[in-house]
Amino acid sequence: MSEEKSLNFIEDIIEEDLRAGKYKSILTRFPPEPNGYLHIGHAKAICLNFGLGLKYGGKTNLRFDDTNPVTEETEYVDSIKDDIKWLGFTWAEELYTSDYFGKLYEFAVDLIKKDLAYVDDSTAEEIAAMKGTPTEPGKDNLYRSRSIEENLQIFTDMKDGKYKDGKKVLRAKIDMKHTNMLMRDPIIYRIKHAHHHRTGNDWCIYPMYDFAHGQSDSIENITHSVCTLEFIPHRELYDWLIEKLEIFPSHQYEFARLNMTYTVMSKRKLLQLVNDGHVKGWDDPRMPTLSAFRRKGYTPESIRTFCDKIGVAKRENFIDLSLLEFCLREDLNQRALRVMAVLDPVKLIISNYDDGKTEELISENGPDEAMGKRVLTFGKELYIEREDFMEEPAKKWFRLAPGAMVRLKSAYIVKCESFIKDNSGKITDIHCTYIPESKSGSDSSGISVKGTIHWVNAATAVTAEVRLYDRLFTVENPLGEEGDFKDTINPNSLDIIKNAMVEPSLKDATAESRYQFIRKGYFCLDKDSTPGKMVFNRTVTLKDAWAKEVKKK
């Protein structure tokens, strides 16, 4: 929270409320429905709600909005908690809307007693038919004039399980001609004989979102209830219910949801990708979920910086995925250890280097001295990147080619003398000589070369699997295309390299380690690694390979 930055519109409101003495302290909440894993859009809401709590000395609750018994699972509750902790936030209280089912039932009874709610026996189709349209008013039906006593009795019977699903609903009695369609006697309770992940079979009637949400805010004394723009039309109902129930006046404020290019964000759509096998799970590194970003090697800091940079808007827009990657590179550049890994190895043999000799070379771990140094071993046989050799070099080729010289990073200058191909024409060995006086740090050779390439020592290198990820969709807005959004899935979003050669220091990698494979990008250890086989994920490339593509358009 830099002092220089101007306030966002919600901060303006909070500062005004605090100045006017409307609240002693503020209380916000993050209210996920536990029906999927959190995505980067949720990170925006988390950073906003928890950020406001922190900034104004208030608190933030985590409330699971678990009013729908059918779609919610404990697995999702656990993953949501993990993700919020990982992002670096601490909630004041862990709460569940289902804990308020008793209280919400009482609120409903209170509305009935005030003649502000009634039981409707109509079918869903009949209710829809009487609702009118944005340009035509709706009509009252005969159930609307039921007596308070009759409503109280039937609602009790609904709770006691005397009716089947869909037979009756409880509706708020507002105005069937209201200009806001949501105010035309909205349904506030429905019958659903279903097992709930927390309340079991205690209830067979469940409150609708609009009846549960604002009331839960009020029960918790939430001062500023922040949600996304699609809830603007709901605000009138939110306020009406709080006013009629005469309960704590929470207020709702809306901001623009985060949309990001080359991905989809709705949990339902993400669930389809998982269920249809387009990805290997919710935490597949190609997904926009927080667990996927974490697995792929993103840092919580980079995501928080990103959420801060995009600000809090009142109008929907698309944020370029490149901005998130930019924040990530800035952060990883500070913390990632520089190591050498050869993704597509070809052998390089130094003919004038003694057989069996090994040498220890010192290499910096990173640009910051505090990152320290490590020992690399050098020997007669190395691996270099196949793409760093060109049989017939192009113009301005500064890497290896027949007769050309190149520096091996932190080691010596070598000159290519010859190379060997197998029957298929594939190069198998590159033979070089090295210049013994050219050792990095004490180079007295007087030779200057333009190219430096990375390498690993064949005698000590370790084989590893490396997974390279690309965008999951080929178009910026998969939902903006005609047809199924899944038709725009990028068929090349995952490239698995089975036999990369990495320097042995990587054997110490932990889940938290962050690496820059020099010249290749940022990488981290994947959870699929076993003691016998390391698996690395590419977190992000060094430069934005897509920036050029976008500019060309």
Binding residues for Mg ion (CB under 5 A): 33
Instruction: Point out which residues pair with 528 in neighbouring strands.
Output: none
Comparing C-alpha atoms, which of 387, 382, 428 is closest to residue 408?
Answer: 382
41 near ligand ATP, rule: CB under 6 A: yes
How buried is residue 74: exposed, middle or buried, by Cβ count under 10 Å (0-12/13-18/19+)? exposed
* Binds ligand ATP by CB under 6 A, chosen from 32, 53, 207, 521: 32
Dihedral angle computed from the Cα positions of residues 423, 457, 359 and 356, in that order, rounded to the nearest 10 degrees: -40
* Binds ligand ATP by CB under 6 A, chosen from 10, 14, 27, 31: 31
Which uninterrupted H or E stretch holds 456? strand 455-457
Nearer to ligand ATP by Cβ, of 32 and 366: the residue is: 32
Nearer to ligand ATP by Cβ, of 212 and 245: the residue is: 212
List Cβ neighbours of 294 (8 Å cut-off, separation of 6 or more). 83, 86, 283, 300
Residue 217, binding choice from Mg ion, ligand ATP, none, Cβ under 5 to 8 Å by partner class: none
Are the beta carbons of 455 and 519 closer than 8 angstroms? no
**Catalytic residue set:** 33, 257, 267
81 near ligand ATP, rule: CB under 6 A: no
Are the beta carbons of 168 and 154 closer than 8 angstroms? yes
Nearer to Mg ion by Cβ, of 289 and 505: the residue is: 289
Neighbours of 12 (CB within 10 A): 11
Residue 184, binding choice from ligand ATP, Mg ion, none, Cβ under 5 to 8 Å by partner class: none
CA dist 152 and 103 (Å) reads 16
From residue 233 to residue 272, the character string flagging contacts with ligand ATP as x (rule: CB under 6 A) and all else as - is ------------------------xx------xxx-----
CB of 243 to ligand ATP, least distance (A): 22
CB of 88 to ligand ATP, least distance (A): 17
Comparing C-alpha atoms, which of 225, 227, 186, 229 is closest to residue 208?
Answer: 186
Residue 467, binding choice from ligand ATP, Mg ion, none, Cβ under 5 to 8 Å by partner class: none
Which residues between 196 and 235 bind ligand ATP (CB under 6 A)?
Answer: 227-228
Residue 257, binding choice from ligand ATP, Mg ion, none, Cβ under 5 to 8 Å by partner class: ligand ATP
Are the beta carbons of 223 and 115 closer than 8 angstroms? no
Residue 264, binding choice from ligand ATP, Mg ion, none, Cβ under 5 to 8 Å by partner class: none
366 near ligand ATP, rule: CB under 6 A: no
Are the beta carbons of 307 and 43 closer than 8 angstroms? yes
Instruction: Point out which residues pair with 200 in neighbouring strands.
Output: 196
Structure tokens at 112: 């009935």
69 near ligand ATP, rule: CB under 6 A: no
Binding residues for ligand ATP, rule: CB under 6 A, are 31-33, 41-42, 44-45, 65, 227-228, 257-258, 265-267
